[in-house]
Structure 1
Amino acid sequence: MKLPNTAHTSRPWRIHELAGDFELEDVWALATPGGPDGLAQLVRQFTSDDGSHQSALVVRTLFAIRWKLGALLGWDKPGSGIGTRVPSLRDRLPADLRDMPRGPDSETLPFTSVYQTDTEWVSEIANRTMHGLMHIGWVPDGAGSYRGQMAVLVKPNGWFGKAYMAAIAPLRHVLVYPPLIRAIGRDWQMRATG
């Protein structure tokens, strides 16, 4: 379920002090009920190479098209990513976050972990179109349990990046995130019962 931006901005996340120059694109509730210590399990699910979180055919197809277009148009060339075109968000971390384990990198997608606490995990990606952050938070659900919440923050690269983000917004909201969020919930449920 898509949430209002305040579901992210009203929380006391550490990301707020680090990413003030990023735009909050989307906030989504994840059907991942659990106890107060469930974030580590959710992060393992996001970063594993079993592909279950990408199980929706539409999502796999759209990602495949995006990577082909990126290769064809040079959006993902070496020199366009983290540490080359843009510095890593890790460079902004205060000492307490820098000294903590940063969490795992994705085994299947080009996301690099920035930091992980008990309640939030941030990973990043960059290419010629944008520098993006995926923020996964672990929040009380109001009924005595907890669940995941995903926020996407982006810093577009110039006018082209802004146009690209505007052009893909309808695809993200209709074809990418809803099936992806359902797949995350199904995978969570399977792991909980299996």
Structure 2
Amino acid sequence: MKLANTAHTTRAWRIHEVAGDFDLEDVWALETPGGPDDFAELVKQFSSGDFPDGAPLIVRALWSLRWKLGALLRLDGRDSGLDSRVGSLRDRLPEGLRDTPTGPDEDWLPFTPLYLLDDEFAAEMANRTMHGVLHLAWIEDEPGRYRGQMAVLVKPNGRFGRAYMGFIKPFRYLFVYPALLRMVEREWKSR
């Protein structure tokens, strides 16, 4: 379920210290009920999940089209990503986050994990259109009952990046996010 931006902005997440100059693009509640110690399982599920391969055909087609266009327009080359076009947010991590685990060990392309805490995880990616952050959090809904929350933060790369983000927004809302959220819920229930 889509949430108001305040579901992310009113909490004292550490990501605010690191990516305060990024735009908050989306905030979503994840149907992942659990206890106080289940957050690491959610992060592991995200990093090893079957997305987009297990998504509906339309999402797989959109994903494939995006990567093909990316190759054609050279959006995703090594010269357009982290530490080439933009520096990694790891360079901005405050002292208390520098020595924390970064998160999943799996090869999680296109994301690079930044940090993992008991209730917060962040990973970044960059290409010619934007520098983005996937932020996962573990929210206590009521005493002892928790659920996941996903936020997407972006820093578009100029006018082209802003136009690109505006162009893909309807596809994200109509196809990509609903499929991703259903998959997260299904995988969470089957664990």
1:134-145 to 2 correspondences below 5 Å: 134-142=134-142, 144-145=144-145
In the other structure, the counterpart of 2:122 is 122
Tell me the residue number matched to 1:99: 99
CA–CA distance in structure 1, aligned partners of residues 100 and 177 of structure 2: 30
> 1:146 and 1:14, CA in 2 relative to 1: closer, same or farther beyond 3 A?
same
User: How many correspondences in the alignment?
Assistant: 190
Q: C-alpha distance in 2, partners of 1:102/1:144?
A: 26
Q: Does 1:82 align with 2:82?
A: yes
C-alpha RMSD of matched pairs (Å):
1.5
Identity of counterpart residues, as a percentage? 61
Letter in 2 for 1:150: M
2: CA distance, partners of 1:3 / 1:45: 22
Partner of 1:133: 133
* TM-score, normalisation: structure 1: 0.93
**Moved beyond 6 Å, runs of 4+:** none
Partner residue in 2 for 1:24: 24
**Any stretches of 5+ residues in structure 1 without a counterpart?**
none
- The range that moved more, 152-161 or 138-147, is 138-147
C-alpha change, 1:106 and 1:165, in structure 2 (3 Å) is: farther
Q: Residue 123 of structure 1 aligns to which amino acid in structure 2? A: A
Deviation at 1:19, TM superposition (A): 0.8
1:186 matches 2:186: yes
Query: Do the aligned residues in 1 keep the contact of 2:129 with 2:157 (CA within 8 Å)?
Result: yes
Deviations 1:4-52 (A, max 9, x none): 000001111001111111000000000111001111001110111x526
1:6 aligns to 2:40 (yes or no) = no
C-alpha deviation, 1:130, in angstroms: 0.2
- In 2 relative to 1, CA 31–81 (structure 1 residues): closer, same or farther, beyond 3 Å? same
Partner-residue secondary structure (3-state), 1:2: coil
| Displacement of 1:54 | 4.8
* 1:142 Cα offset (Å): 2.9
SS in 1 for 2:171: helix
Change (3 A) 1:107 1:144: same
Q: Deviations over 1:135-193 (max 9, x none)?
A: 000001236410000000000000000000011111111111011101100000011xx
Is residue 173 of structure 2 the alignment partner of residue 173 of structure 1?
yes
Report the Cα offset of residue 105 of structure 1: 5.5
CA contact under 8 A between 2:29 and 2:148: conserved in structure 1? yes
Instruction: Tell me: CA distance 1:114–1:37, structure 2 relative to 1, closer, same or farther (3 Å).
Output: same
The TM-score, its normalising length taken from structure 2, stands at 0.95
Partner of 2:67: 67
Match of 2:50 in 1: 51
Structure 2: gaps (5+ residues): none
